[in-house]
């Protein structure tokens, strides 16, 4: 797969809507593209598009060491007009994370692996939701020797850490009362709950903690309803958890502060920080240097599928990909086409070196 074919693939991917839960069309497109590029490819039972340089892509090969390139196909909602302007491709998912996934496919198609090592490219479903269904399916199917997560890192960045996550839903319903009465409304109670939660969370981190080491909390949605007989309020809030803060600690605070309210939790993920001296980090950093650039090691305040797979696979791991992550989920989402080409160069340098280290055969 040459550069022009890789860019055409990305264009087709961006033109194919793939909001979380509706990725089937993109999965079919990717499987076809990977097969034409010489990879063995199929869609697994979770809906992931999977391609491998040899063997059955849907299972581990007992005589092969797998390097898994784990990207994701899904996007958040919102239509961004697909267009090209001044060397930039606009469209939902261009940065997060179809650009990195297209680079994975191109680099895998070009790679020559030593005997005993293969590449497995995975376009996962539902990364943008708390379910992370695609990554969980892959986590239970493979036991790779190394992994690269496909997320935007600026092309010269190598991401070694992501904060953890917790999503809470608080709901309260009570009989209606006159607003002139002394009783607080359901909304008043919910507001008090949130303030108490914030106060409790402040004790979990130092006041002067860095952004990566601090606990972030925000309300994602708030809804109230009054039908004449009862008042109901619902809050959905999200937490970004630093290393050392367990999801259970925040769950305990939310539950203790709830009183009459009902709380439910999803998206429990611990923070993850990879070894900065691992074979994956070294290979990617060398790939960046091969372009005359200085690699940057990054710690991200969001989450990724690294949070899901790293604690189980326990292999060398890092995230890499083209694109400016500040454009994720925005109405101005776009990626520089040249950045795709550069990232493929980095991966094409890094993957043979990584495979050579795993096999004992220098690249």
DSSP for 22-80 reads --HHHHHHHHHHHHHTT-EEEE-TTS-EEEESSS-TTS--TT-EEEEEEEE--B-S---
Q: Do 58 and 158 belong to one domain?
A: yes
Q: Which residue has the tokens 């008042």?
A: 231
116: how many CB neighbours lie within 10 A of its CB? 15
Per-residue tens of pLDDT for the chain, all 363 residues? 999 999 999 999 999 999 999 999 999 999 999 999 999 999 999 999 999 999 999 999 888 999 999 999 999 999 999 999 999 999 999 999 999 999 999 999 999 999 899 999 999 999 999 999 999 999 999 999 999 999 999 989 999 999 999 999 999 998 776 554 556 788 899 999 999 999 999 999 998 999 999 999 999 999 998 877 788 999 999 999 999 999 999 999 999 999 889 999 999 999 999 999 999 999 999 999 999 999 999 999 999 999 999 999 999 999 999 999 999 999 999 999 999 999 999 999 999 999 998 887 666
Q: Do 301 and 263 belong to one domain?
A: no
Q: Do 21 and 155 belong to one domain?
A: yes
| Boundary of a domain, candidates 269, 303, 322 | 269
Q: What is the pTM of this model?
A: 0.93
Q: Do 248 and 265 belong to one domain?
A: yes
Q: Do 148 and 67 belong to one domain?
A: yes
Q: How far apart are CA 304 and CA 311, in angstroms?
A: 13
| Boundary of a domain, candidates 269, 304, 325 | 269
24: how many CB neighbours lie within 10 A of its CB? 14
Q: How far is CA 53 from CA 114, 115, 119, 318, in A?
A: 11, 11, 5, 21
Concatenated DSSP letters for 250-297?
Answer: HHHHHHHHHTTSEEEEEEEE--EE--TTSHHHHHHHHHHHTTT---EE
- Domain hosting 295: range is 3-162+271-359
Residue 82 is given by DSSP the state -
> By the 8 A CB rule, do 172 and 333 touch?
no
Query: Tell me, what's the pLDDT at 34?
Result: 98
- Domain CATH for 203: 3.30.70.360
Q: Are strands 262-269 and 164-175 parallel, antiparallel or unpaired?
A: antiparallel
Query: Tell me, what's the pLDDT at 362?
Result: 65
Q: How far apart are CA 120 and CA 58, in angstroms?
A: 9
Q: Do 142 and 276 belong to one domain?
A: yes
Q: How far is CA 48 from CA 120, 182, 275, in A?
A: 12, 55, 28
Q: Do 203 and 219 belong to one domain?
A: yes
Q: Do 148 and 14 belong to one domain?
A: yes
Query: Tell me, what's the pLDDT at 93?
Result: 97
| Catalytic machinery residues | 74, 127
Query: Tell me, what's the pLDDT at 246?
Result: 96
Helix or strand (DSSP H, E) at 5: helix 3-15
Q: What share of the chain is helix, strand, coil (3-state, %, to 5)?
A: 35, 30, 40
| Boundary of a domain, candidates 243, 269, 295 | 269
Q: Do 112 and 218 belong to one domain?
A: no
Q: Do 152 and 282 belong to one domain?
A: yes
Smallest CA-to-CA distance from 67 within 353, 363, 351 is with 351
- The partner residues of 235 in beta bridges, in order of sequence, read 170, 222
Q: How far apart are CA 323 and CA 298, in angstroms?
A: 14
The angle subtended at Cα 298 by Cα 297 and Cα 303, nearest 5°, is 145
Q: Are strands 65-72 and 146-150 parallel, antiparallel or unpaired?
A: parallel
Query: Tell me, what's the pLDDT at 356?
Result: 92
Q: Do 106 and 243 belong to one domain?
A: no
Residue 136 is given by DSSP the state H
Q: Where are the beta strands (DSSP E) in 290-341?
A: 296-300, 317-320, 334-336
- Domain CATH for 152: 3.40.630.10
Rg (CA), the chain: 22
> What phi and psi values does residue 335 have, to the nearest 5 degrees?
-135, 145
Instruction: Count the domains in the chain.
Output: 2
Q: Do 145 and 57 belong to one domain?
A: yes
Query: Tell me, what's the pLDDT at 177?
Result: 61
Q: How far apart are CA 96 and CA 326, in angstroms?
A: 10
């Amino acid at each position: 797969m040459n550069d022009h074919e890789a860019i055409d693939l990305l264009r087709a991917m961006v033109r194919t809507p793939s909001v979380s839960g509706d990725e089937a069309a993109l999965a079919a497109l990717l499987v076809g593209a990977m097969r034409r590029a010489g990879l063995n490819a199929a869609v697994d039972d979770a809906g992931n598009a999977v391609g491998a340089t040899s063997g059955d892509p849907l299972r581990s090969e007992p005589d092969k060491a797998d390097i898994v390139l784990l990207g994701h196909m899904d996007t958040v909602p919102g239509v961004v007009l697909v267009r090209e302007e001044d060397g930039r491709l606009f469209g939902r998912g261009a940065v997060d994370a179809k650009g990195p996934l297209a680079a994975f496919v191109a680099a895998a198609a070009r790679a020559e692996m030593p005997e005993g090592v293969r590449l497995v490219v995975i376009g996962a479903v539902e990364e943008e939701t708390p379910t992370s269904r695609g990554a969980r399916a892959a986590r239970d199917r493979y036991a790779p020797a190394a992994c690269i997560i496909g997320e935007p890192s600026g092309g010269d960045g190598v991401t070694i850490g992501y904060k953890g996550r917790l999503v809470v839903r608080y709901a309260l319903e009570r009989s209606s009362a006159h607003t002139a009465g002394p009783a607080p409304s359901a909304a008043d109670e919910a507001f008090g709950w949130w303030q108490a939660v914030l106060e409790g969370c402040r004790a979990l981190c130092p006041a002067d903690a860095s952004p990566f080491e601090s606990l972030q909390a925000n309300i994602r949605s708030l809804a109230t309803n009054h039908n004449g007989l009862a008042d109901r309020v619902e809050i959905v809030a999200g937490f970004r958890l630093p290393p050392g803060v367990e999801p259970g600690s925040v769950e305990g605070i939310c539950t203790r502060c709830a009183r009459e309210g009902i709380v439910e939790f999803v998206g429990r993920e611990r923070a993850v920080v990879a070894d900065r001296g691992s074979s994956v980090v070294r290979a990617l950093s060398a790939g960046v240097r091969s372009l005359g650039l200085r690699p940057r090691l990054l710690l991200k305040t969001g989450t990724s599928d690294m949070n899901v797979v790293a604690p189980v696979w326990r292999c060398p791991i890092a995230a890499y990909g083209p694109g400016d992550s500040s454009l994720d989920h925005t109405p101005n989402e776009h990626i520089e086409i040249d950045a795709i080409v550069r990232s493929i160069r980095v991966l094409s340098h890094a993957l043979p070196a990584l495979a050579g280290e795993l096999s004992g055969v220098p690249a």
